[in-house]
Structures are given as structure tokens and as C-alpha cells.
Amino acid sequence: MSRISLGYSPCPNDTYIFYGLVHGKIDGALRCREILEDIETLNRMAMAGKLDMTKISFHALALMRDRYCLLHSGGALGRGCGPLVIASDALDSCDLLGKRIAIPGKLTTAALLLRLFNSALDDLVAMPFHEIMEATQKGDVDAGVIIHESRFTYPDYGLHKVIDLGEWWEASTGHPIPLGGILARRDLGKEKIQQIDVSLCASVKYAHSNPGVVKNYIRQHAQEMDEAIMQQHIDLYVNEYTLDYGADGEAALVDLFARAEEAGIVPRSDQPLFID
């Protein structure tokens, strides 16, 4: 049987989650051909139908619900883990109007949250997430939306937090903030998708049970090599929702998509998120 193509980012939470699956540690799992790219590249590859299974921004999923379904495990969703808007000067959120703002890709959930927060913020510049802090520091942009480990390291660049979009979402909706999840192509068929879903859950459990085994793989791919930052990243983005979204997580996703549809940012869809 040919390997399924599996895309995920080199960020610590993803390498933690997928180690068991891609290293043959999960009994009965399909063989995977891993492709490690930044989240926006994965979004674009999935939009082009190039990946059988992939980590994805929920913003991007909203645009391809007809072709991909969501798996129950592996999601990045929680509280206190949302994107931050940062700037070189201490600004209020109202000061962002008219400012040039860097975003980590047009299909990222970070970009979606910024648009939901204030649709008038429309001078947006897409760039790789790891370039945003330096671009903001140098004045190439007035502000930036940062994700991943950048939320721990931005003070090292002399940057200031303008708004935490995750805190805004939580206060506005009461839901945890949904950032990204793991998708499978619908045309793989229900039986194979369910097999992948079970294996993915087992891979998360494997990492939980064998943190020392996965550590070298995480370190090998991490942008931020500081051990403490790597662990902070995992602790923040791998949580109770990572094994299964549960009712709270699913409600957060439904609300996110409904708000994006109402704002005209994504098309409406009647497709169920999961194949059960």
C-alpha cells in the first residue's frame, strides 16, 4: 500500500503529536510520507489538494469543507493561546487603524481573528511567521500578528503587545480559541479516515507516555531551540482538547465558522466537520 502524504509544521506541538505516527510506533497505522512546512504553506498545499492528511488553519478548513473533513485528535485549541498583535511602540488597539500590519499568511486563523476583531484593519502584509517580529522591529510594518513560540519571545525584540486576539475571542464568545486541526481528504473513504483518526489519537497518547523519546525529534525541527521555550510551546498547545475536541471544542469551531460566514469571509457550507 502506498504511503499517505502527511503535512505538518516543524513546531514543537506538531512534532510532538506526530512522532509516534511517522516513526512506526502505532500498531495498525497507515504508513505516512511526512512533509514539514510552515502552516501557511500547508494551507496552500491543501487548497490545491496536494495532501491526504495535514495540519491546517481553521480559516483554511472553512474554505475546503467540501474536500476535507476534520479528525478528532491533534487540534490546537485552548485558552490563553491565541495570536498576539505586537508593535514596536506601546499602542492601544484603536491605534491600529490605518497601520500596516503583518500577518502569518492570508489563510491562517490569526488573520481571520484579526478581521473578525476589526474588519477596518485592511492594510495587511502576509509573510512567514518567523519574519514578523524582525519586520516589526525594523519598521517594515507598523504592527504584526504573531503565533507559535513568538508569543514567548517577542519581548526580546523590544516589542509591545497591543492585543491578545485569543483573550478577545474568549471574552466575546466564552469559547476556547480554535486555531488549527488535522484534516483528511474525504475521498479517502470513511473506513480509512476512521483508521487514521484512531492512529492519530494513539500517536498523541504515545507522546504523552514517552516524552523523553520524542524530545530529540522535537529539538531537531524547532525554530526556537531553547529547551524551556520548546516545553512552554508544547504545554500551551497540547492540552485536553488535543486528544478530542469534545463538546466545548466543537461548539467553538461552529461559532468561529458561523461568524466568518456572517462576515462574508468564508462561504457557507452544509458539510459535517467530521466523518463518524
For residues 194 and 246, give the distance between their C-alpha atoms in angstroms, rounded to a whole number.
17
Verify whether residue 130 is a known catalytic residue.
no
Residues 6+ apart with CB under 8 A from 174: none
Length of the chain: 276
Catalytic residue among 59, 72, 148, 175: 148
For residues 226 and 233, give the distance between their C-alpha atoms in angstroms, rounded to a whole number.
11
Q: Specify which residues 85 forms β-bridges with.
A: 145, 163
Phi and psi, residue 125, nearest 5°: -120, 115
Q: Which residues of 148-182 are buried (b: 16+ CB within 10 A; e: fewer)?
A: bbbbbbbeebebbebbbbbebbbeeeebbbbbbbb
Residue pair 116/263 in contact (Cβ under 8 Å)? The answer is: yes
Q: What are the residue numbers of the active site?
A: 148
